[in-house]
Homo-oligomer: A and B are copies of this chain.
């Protein structure tokens, strides 16, 4: 059995209260006692039981993070930011890989609730009523990342998706492109789907350029869907000279489609992505894309979680276009 506070108290001949004070850096003992206790702790290899501590202090120093997909590069980068900041503050993080599954998400919420985490970060998904209610019921700080909700006004950190897409499209237009396609997410997705499509459309419309629905093909943000969507797009609108993809992974799909169909990028087809994931700079050619400060968003989310009175705080992070080699000036 692991030694307890009682063991070190006995060993030293003091009370457990005194040991507790010493461990926790409170005062109320002389140096003499402190030394003896510390020695005993060392000798017995005593480590305080965080579970017992948690029970009395009702604080576990643990937070939960819900991600739709742990292997996604956006999610992992975000996680890195969250974990870094959490660790600095002495918190551990439990990961929850929801796979965007409703039931699974609810289960995680239950577990997190039972395990009495001190806070929770919910990412990249639409807040359904079932989630919102559960989240409210937990009675702990909640921070949203890459999502927000009018019905459940939790603090959030995100990027302005519509605006980012708008800027990406304007960038393409300024490079001289006139027929611009989009490889989009699901238009029913109010988070990363429709806003980006709207931004694309608005940029085009404002400049009197065509923004027909035949110029957008829908994917699921992942690579394979990017390939397929591009094929569809180029078949329906062969005059497209540039494509805006709603994620870097899909943009890589565009590149892949182009490679296999002997369409040169950027000389015959320009491509701009979204995220600035690690893969963007590793792409061939290196991918021009919309940079989201993902790591910083993770840091910020943790900050909001740990800061007092964060209710209602909203944090919209800046984006920027990172110019690499996939967009040609016409």
Contact = CB atoms under 8 A, between A and B. Distances in A.
23 contacts: A2-B139, A45-B137, A48-B114, A50-B111, A50-B114, A51-B54, A51-B116, A62-B94, A70-B79, A70-B80, A70-B83, A71-B73, A71-B77, A71-B80, A73-B73, A84-B97, A92-B111, A92-B115, A93-B95, A94-B95, A249-B282, A255-B284, A259-B284
Q: For this complex, into which size category does the number of interface residues on chain A fall?
A: 35 or more
B47 A51 contact: no
Contacts of A83: 70, 95, 97
A279 interface: yes
Interface in A53-98: 54-55, 60, 62, 70-71, 73, 76-77, 79-80, 83-84, 87, 92-97
B256 A47 contact: no
A contact face: mostly helix, strand, loop, or mixed? helix
A284 B73 CA distance: 19
Lowest 3 A-B CB distances belong to which pairs? A50-B114, A50-B115, A284-B284
Contacts of A51: 51, 54-55, 60, 115-116
Contacts of A282: 223, 249, 252-253, 256, 279
A73 B279 CA distance: 11
A48 B223 CA distance: 42
